[in-house]
Structure 1
Amino acid sequence: MVELNNVEQAVPAPFHRRRPWTCCCLIFFFLIVLIAIIIVILAFTVFKPKKAEVSVEKVELLNFKSSLGGGLIPTPSINITLAVDLSLHNPNKASFKYSNSTAMVYYYDDEVAVVTIPAGAIGSDATKTMSVTFIMLADQLVTNSHLVNDFLAGSLPFTTRTKISGRVKVLFIKRHVDILSQCSVSISVVNASISNTDCENKVHL
């Protein structure tokens, strides 16, 4: 009788008693897979990092003073204040954070003005307007060998470059973003005005 009782205790539980637990595990597993698929689809569609959009709204000459000194070699004296208004649009579903950036003005290959753009952020699907003001003084220009000829010709060519670097993090995806805006600006000496402007904007993601 003792051996018979031991045999009865070793018999496994009926299969139908384990079925609810098996079904719960399967349902839980399929839910996890479904959620993972939804997250992946959203990450590569709705929440996929997109390129920011940049445009130059306005290039304005705020101040222009010039004169031509006497002597055997005439020396121009020029003070220029130039303003560039940028519009930055962040189309992502997360904010775009950028670090301290720089904006520069070149007269040919010479850097004649530098402005620091403080770090900041552009909210989700938001647009931010940014105004950069450059002040160019005579002593920054007179050393350039082209100045006298350009001054006598009546037109001064400048190039403005604004570079903003940052990153956007959407869900678990981080992407570095470089925004570059460059404008070629010609300033008329006679009319003290901007005679020509040609801008190019690039975004690298």
Structure 2
Amino acid sequence: MTTKGREEAVVFYAPIPPHPVDDQTYVLLPLRTYRTNRHDLRRCLGVATFLLLFVAAAYLLYPSDPDLTLVRLHLNNIQVHASPQPSLDVSLFLTLRVFNRDFFSLNYSSLVVSIGYRGRELGFVTSNGGHLRARGSSYVNATLELNGFQVIHDVFYLLEDLARGSIPFDTHSKVKGTVGLFFIQVPIQARISCEVIANTTDQTIIRQDCYPQ
């Protein structure tokens, strides 16, 4: 091919072939079947059964606090003295039930019952201890006598309560003891509190609400 008296070489380029697709590689795994070994299965079941029995035994044998329930509350006497200083005379009779929930015997050393007025303790009484067999219960009587307690800080509330004809009290009962567990004495205790509203006119209890602590 000639242009302006000179021959020029014309080079023809062939198109670049497309990029070849890479070959995909496949890995063939042999089909393997798994069979459950009866010996391993029995071993797993045995371990699971042992753990369940151990947890159940620990739950049943671990010492727990006894149940303390107020069965009866009777107001023997309540009287308010205005002179020479405001004071209270209160007499309460209580019957408490102590129930041992454990599978071991329980020895309680004492039972303490206190009475209070508007958050202030007025007095308390302590009863003797006793012995409870496994899953057994006992009834304990306690009489709380309070004579001539001077009410100085809450005298205005006391006058208001007298005008309404009712006085609110709160009682707290606590029992302490030990549970024998394989020659080991484990300390336990239980508490119960009651809110009591006493009628000053007919010497009766209008309402009582008890709850464990």
State the AA in 2 paired with 1:148.
L
> What are the residue-to-residue correspondences of 1:1-205 with 2, within 5 Å?
44=58, 46-66=60-80, 78-141=88-151, 144-145=154-155, 146-171=157-182, 174-202=185-213
- 168 and 185 in structure 1: CA distance in 2 versus 1, 3 angstrom threshold: same
State the AA in 1 paired with 2:96.
L
State the AA in 2 paired with 1:121.
H
Cα deviation for residue 90 of structure 1 reads 0.6
RMSD: 2.8
Write the distance in 2 (CA, Å) between the matches of 1:165 and 1:109.
23
Cα deviation for residue 97 of structure 1 reads 1.6
Match of 1:33 in 2: none
Gaps of 5+ in 2: 1-50
Match of 1:31 in 2: none
Write the distance in 2 (CA, Å) between the matches of 1:182 and 1:98.
19
Match of 2:42 in 1: none
Q: Which moved more, 1:75-84 or 1:177-186?
A: 75-84
Q: Give 1 or 2 for the bigger CA radius of gyration.
A: 2
Write the distance in 1 (CA, Å) between the matches of 2:159 and 2:129.
38
State the AA in 2 paired with 1:126.
G
Instruction: Report the structure, 1 or 2, having the larger helix content.
Output: 1
Gaps of 5+ in 1: 1-36
Cα deviation for residue 60 of structure 1 reads 0.8
Write the distance in 1 (CA, Å) between the matches of 2:145 and 2:161.
19
Instruction: Give the SS at the match of 1:150.
Output: helix
Instruction: Give the SS at the match of 2:149.
Output: helix
Instruction: Give the SS at the match of 2:112.
Output: strand
Write the distance in 2 (CA, Å) between the matches of 1:140 and 1:114.
15
